[in-house]
Each structure stands twice: as structure tokens, then as C-alpha cells.
Chain A
Amino acid sequence: MVRVIDEDGEVVDGAEVPDLTDDEFVEMYRHMKLARRFDERAVSLQRQGRIGTYPPLSGQEGAQIGSAMALAEDDWMVPSYREHGAGLVRGLPLKQTLLYWMGHEQGNRIPEDANIFTVAVPIASQIPHATGMAWASQLRDEQDKAFLCYFGDGATSEGDFHEGLNFAGVFDTPNVFFCNNNQWAISVPRERQTASETLAQKATAYGFEGVQVDGMDPLAVYKVTKAAVEKAKDPDEGELRPTLIEAVQYRFGAHTTADDPSVYRDEEEVEKWRAKDPLPRMEKFLKRTDRLTDEDVEQMEADIEDDVADAIAAAEETPRPDPVEMFQNVYAEMPKRLEQQLEWFQSIRDEHGDEALLED
């Protein structure tokens, strides 16, 4: 398993620290802290009934931020539904993420200048999309784009995982498959997903490289992802472009706010993994290497608090979408039957008023 820094932020023996500027190191940490704070606030908002069901990411910041920062601007990211931190790095505002989980379709509309694919909920179903996008890029003779696809350990049990990776191997597409092995698929442990010793070794079946990395070590994740992205664009002779990365990590909270992890896992296990928390680890590394001071951290925390509060305020101030939006974007060319349903619906609104149609 690839590691760069240990739990105390010390560089492990023989490891090479990635070639980032001081600002980039600090930026990485800032993104991680912002993702963590956002996550805490989002869970709290759900508990207060201010957003709907939400999938927390705490514990996975190292994997999300480390990998997303390894992408070049023109590369693509194909997320599952938990990559709020990675999305942030790639240009998806927190407000959008909040809106989506508040039930606004607009939250799922990716800004034009961000190469992020829309969130996918059915497990592993985004993997063939990532392969298809990378394949299309290749058919168009683009040599300069990699396609990073995120999924969890549970996804490796699905047919779409196999089919997506199999196609990628056969057609040698510029893909990086990034498995966030957070140990639990809702309540079912990783051991119940596969008898394979590692998830990374599954890559062997598709003819390309698999790498296991400490997913709570952002520098190791960055390094491994960067190498995979570069290989996707420019492989060595006889080497296939795709890579399967298994980032070994832990989600500290629930799968979503709808489940209670204390039912299926021991607190001892959680504590064991908390010792590997990517945030203090990165902070120690940065302080030890004189890239960060206590004052910097304080200032950073204050800024983050403001950023998150602003995003929440902006999301909550967003009015309920016009219900006409339900009917829009279903087809480019709206069928007559749908037009009729829309007209009928408008007449009901006119007759009763929107207030009467809404639950309290």
C-alpha cells in the first residue's frame, strides 16, 4: 500500500513527497478542512430538517481532495454521490451540492466551465459512462484528457464495475477508476463484497494496473492519482492506459443520514480509524515543514466558517423551483401529451394557488 506520510505527519521511510508548491500543499489542506466543515454542517442541517437525506464524507477528505487535485483542468471527473469534496476542488460550488440534497434539480446542473459529470445514484452505473466518455475522447483523437471515475467498495460487486473496466481494458481508454474503499456498503462490510484479498487486484482481471493506496494520506493519494492520470494520457510502450486505484479509508459517519452505523459496527473500529484522520495528519505535516502556523489555521477556520455559512444562506434563500421545471428538459422536443399535462397542471395551479398544493 502506497503511503507518503504517517499518522503523525512524518514522511515514511523511502517515500517521496509529491512535487507541489507550498501554496498547493496549503490549498490541499484548506480544501480538506472546508469539506469536513461543510460535511458537519450538512449533517446538522439534515438533523434540523433543513436538507433531505445526505451522504456524509468525513474521513474521506484525503482521498477526495488528493485525487481531485491531481487532475488537470481539462481532465474529467465522474462522481458517485459522495464526492462533494472532490467536486469543490473541480469547481462545483457548495451551494450547488446543498441545493441538490435539498431537492432542487438545479443543484445537479454542473457549471459550463467545470468538467464534472452529473451525480449518479445507482451504484457503479457511472463507471461505464466514464469509460464511454474516455473512449469518445480517444475516438476524437484527443490525447490530453484523463477521466477519473469515483465509486465505493460496494460498487465493485456490481456488473457495471466489471463491464466498465472490461471495456476500458479492451479499448485501452484513458480512465482512472478510483475506488473509495471506505470499508462499508451501508451496513455490509468489505469482506461481504468480495473474497479477493484487495480490490486493487481486480484490475489484473482486466489487464491493467491496480494500486492500493492509503486513502487517508492525501499526499499518497495525490501521488498515485497523478501517476495514473499521466499514464492515461501517455502510457509507456506495452502499458495499458487505465488504472484501478483502491484508496483504503474509512467513513466516520453513516452511509447516509438515514442509517445508524452504531447498529452494524463497533465504536472501537471507528476509533481505530479516527487515529488515521487525514486532517490532523496533514496539518502536522504542514506545520512540521513550516508551511503552516497556528495563526494560519485559525484564520483558515474563520474563513471556512464564513464560506460554509454563505453557501448555506445562499442555498436556503434559493426559492422553491418553478414547478414548470419538472416538465422542462425531459425532452428537447416536448411531446404533445406532456404539453397537455403541463397545461392541465397550470390550470390546477391557477384554480387553487400554489399554497394549496404544497404540504406544510
Chain B
Amino acid sequence: MSENLTLVQAVRDGLRDEMAEDDDVLVMGEDVGKNGGVFRATEGLFDEFGGERVIDTPLAESGIIGTAVGMAAYGLKPVPEIQFSGFMYPGFDQIVSHMARLRTRSRGRYTCPMVLRAPMGGGIRAPEHHSESKEAFYVHEAGLKVAMPSTPHDAKGMLISAIRSPDPVIFLEPKKIYRAFREEVPDDTYEVPLGEAAVRSEGTDVSVFTWGAMTRPTIEAAENLDGDIDVEVVDLRTLSPLDIDTVVESFKKTGRAAIVHEAPQTAGVGAEITATIQEEALLYQEAPVERITGFDVPFPLAALEDYYLPEPERIESGIRDAFEF
């Protein structure tokens, strides 16, 4: 059986399934209990599992993440939610100094199997500090896995994989597509493995690598170019560890690449993919890698965010540049 769910509903479905499956899994954060989360990602869980497993915490990001580290070290599997990824910075020290390093620092005596969830990215006309796309911070930190689904089906399956992962996971949910569309999602528990990209559409002329909310405008751009340019769209899904094999395999086929992400360009994950292509497939390369990204500016307020975010026209231009070089 399956249900037609939005991405945020699929997140909730994944949380509920894992909580039912494993008593050690608990959800914590600000407004996640009775209110069901500001985006409703935890709606209904409080009634089903009670206040000891769906915990409204004080408003304190470092406290939420830091206590979750302690819980995880003690054998529970906490899934803390930070209300917006732009508010993760007060807890950044706990993420990079402890969540990421506990296994290393204790030589495996203590581990930190937790999943830190946060809605991320722009495109919903939110106030300042509510639209950041800073996945690169977490990708840069050894010890963490970083995942960002682009479909409801993946959101549920990847979240279940994340909760079952023995390594700590930063699970970033693109809020622009929380409710943008629906998809059939199995009722049953299933895993979409972390570390595996998905080829969303096959093509032979240009490989386009993207993830999260940018996947849909990229697919749209590819469709618009159809007939002129045969585009392969690869949704990376997990940014750490990166699915190098799929990236390289696709690039060897096309010899041309464009990367689409909404994060700022400089030292973004696109730079890492570009370097990977250079290292692994230089002799296949027919054109410079195009980066179609956000700009190196703070995320603008609502009036300008459409100009900041890559949209299909900008993506088309970038793909064309890669093709026509």
C-alpha cells in the first residue's frame, strides 16, 4: 500500500515508522510536541508516542544538540529538530566539536548515532535568517553524513536510513518543496541508502549535478532544452559521503557538466564536484564545468530572492554554455 504524500508528510511518516519500530528513537526540539513542529513535520507524534518521546525543549539550539549528543552517547537515538537551518549556528560548536567527533575522540568507545533535522533553503518568502543553504559547512566536517532529499519518497527512505545509521547525520529538508507536490510513498518501512545519487533523467550531452529544491527547476530546464541538448540530471541526494562513482560515470558519458545549487558559489559543494571531475575524468572533459549557484551574498530578503535562486532560465543558460563551449 502507498499514500500520496507531500515531502513534509513523508518526513513525518518516516519518523513515525522508526519510532514505532525502535523504542530508542525520540524526537526533540522547539515546538515539535503539541504544536507538531512549525512545518508540521512532527504532527500527531506527540499524541501517538507521548511527551517522553516527542519532547518540547527550551528554546536553545546548543542545548538541544548538546543534550542529544549526550543521549546518543548513552544509547538512545535522538532526532532533534532545529526549527530553521539558519538557527543552527548557536549549536554549531556542538555539531562540529562533539556530534561529528565523538567516535574519533573516544576511539569508538562512545558514538553519536543521532539525526539532526532542519528545514533549509529559500523560496518561501521567509524573514531574514530563515532561508540559508549552508550544507557545505557540514560537508566539510569529517565524521558527519549530510543528506538532502528532493522527493517525498526519498525523504522517507533516506530519513529511515539516517536514523538507522551508526554515524551522525545532518538531515536538511528543502522547505520550498515541503508541500510543492505529492508522490506515492509506500506505507511500509523502507530505506533509501545514504551515499547513493539518483539519475533523474538520462542524457548524453551534458551532465547536470544538483540536489534538494534545485532538482525540480533543473529537470524543468532539461525538458525545456530537449531537442537541442540531451541533458542528464543527477540528484546527488547525499552530499557527504558523495557518490563519486555516479558523478564520474555520468561525466565520462557526456564530457560536459553543470552544477546547480542554491548555496553561494565559493567553496560550495559544486567546487568539490568540479575537483572530483578533474581528478577522476580529466581526459573526458570537453568544456569547463559550469556552476549555476546562488551568489556570494547573504541570502536576500523576499523581494529579491527570486533573483538569487537559480531558476529554469538561468539553469538553461548554464547548461547551454557547457554544451556550446
Residues of A within 8 A of B (CB): 105-106, 108-110, 112, 117-120, 122, 125, 127-137, 139-140, 159-160, 163-164, 166-167, 170, 325, 328-333, 335-338
- Can you list 8 A-B pairs with a CB-CB distance of less than 8 A? A109-B108, A117-B110, A129-B70, A167-B57, A329-B107, A330-B142, A333-B166, A336-B245
- A133 and B66 in contact, given A330-B143, A336-B241 (Cβ under 8 angstroms): no
Q: Is the CB of B74 within 8 A of A108?
A: no
Tell whether A159 pairs with B73 under 8 Å between CB atoms, given A122-B93, A331-B103, A335-B195. Answer: no
Judged by a CB distance under 8 angstroms, whether B111 is at the interface is yes
In the bound complex, do residue B97 and residue A125 qualify as a contact, i.e. CB atoms below 8 Å apart? yes
Q: Cβ of B110 and Cβ of A118 under 8 Å apart? A: yes
Q: Shortest Cβ distance from B34 into chain A, in angstroms?
A: 16
Q: Which residues of the other chain, A, contact B227 by a CB distance below 8 angstroms?
A: none
A136 near B66: Cβ-Cβ < 8 Å: no
Smallest distance from the beta carbon of A229 to chain B beta carbons, Å?
18
Check B67 for interface membership: any CB of A closer than 8 A.
Answer: yes
Inter-subunit contact B103/A128 (CB<8 Å): no
Chain B nearest CB, measured from A232 CB (Å): 15
Smallest CB separation, B246 vs chain A (Å)? 11
Write the chain A residue with the least CB distance to B53. Answer: A139
B166 & A332 in contact (Cβ 8 Å cutoff): yes
Pair B104/A130 contact, Cβ less than 8 Å = no
- Which residues of A have CB within 8 Å of B241? 335-338
Q: Is B94 an interface residue (CB 8 A)?
A: yes
A159 vs B102: C-alpha distance when bound (angstroms): 21
Q: How far is the CA of A295 from the CA of B94 in the complex (A)?
A: 50
Are A132 and B71 in touch, CB under 8 angstroms? yes
Taken together as a complex, chains A and B put the C-alpha atoms of A110 and B145 apart, in Å, by 25
Q: How many A-B residue pairs have CB under 8 A?
A: 141
Give bound CA distance, A69 to B18, whole Å.
Answer: 41
Across the A-B interface, give the 10 residue pairs with the lowest CB-CB distance, nearest first. Answer: A132-B70, A128-B66, A163-B63, A335-B241, A132-B67, A332-B166, A136-B74, A129-B70, A109-B107, A133-B70
* Of listed A106, A108, A129, A134, residue having the most chain B CB within 10 A: A129
B240 cross-chain contacts in A, Cβ below 8 A: 335
* B85 → chain A closest CB, angstroms: 19
Interface residues on B, range: 35 or more
> Are the C-beta atoms of B244 and A167 separated by less than 8 Å?
no
Tell which of B94, B106, B143 touches A118, judged by Cβ atoms closer than 8 Å. B106
B74 A132 Cβ-Cβ under 8 A: yes
B145 proximity list for chain A (CB < 8 A):
331
Given contacts A128-B67, A164-B67, 12 further A-B pairs with CB under 8 A are A105-B107, A118-B109, A120-B98, A122-B93, A129-B69, A131-B66, A132-B66, A134-B70, A140-B75, A159-B60, A160-B94, A333-B165
Report B-chain residues with C-beta under 8 Å of the C-beta of A130. 70
Residue contact B105 to A108, C-beta cutoff 8 Å: yes
Contact B111 A135 (CB under 8 A): no
In the complex, which of the residues A110, A163, A338 contacts B66, with contact meaning CB atoms closer than 8 Å? A163
Q: How far is the CB of A17 from chain B (nearest CB, A)?
A: 35
Residue among B71, B107, B111 having the largest count of chain A Cβ atoms under 10 Å: B107
B249 to chain A, nearest CB (A): 13
Give the distance to chain A from B6, nearest Cβ to Cβ, in Å: 30
Q: Complex: how many Å from CA A118 to CA B98?
A: 10
Most buried by B among A106, A109, A120: A109
Map CB proximity to A onto B138-172 as digits: 1 under 8 Å, 0 otherwise: 00001101000000000000000000011100000
Give the chain B neighbours of A332 by CB distance below 8 A.
Answer: 103, 111, 165-167
Question: A163 vs B109: C-alpha distance in the bound complex, in angstroms?
Answer: 26
A120 to B94 Cα, complex, angstroms: 11
The answer for the CA separation of A330 and B141 in the assembled complex, in Å, is 10
* B94 neighbours in A (Cβ, 8 Å): 125, 128, 160
Taking CB as reference atom, which chain A residue is nearest B65?
A128
* B63, A105: Cβ atoms closer than 8 Å: no
Residues of chain B within 8 A (CB-CB) of A106 are: 107
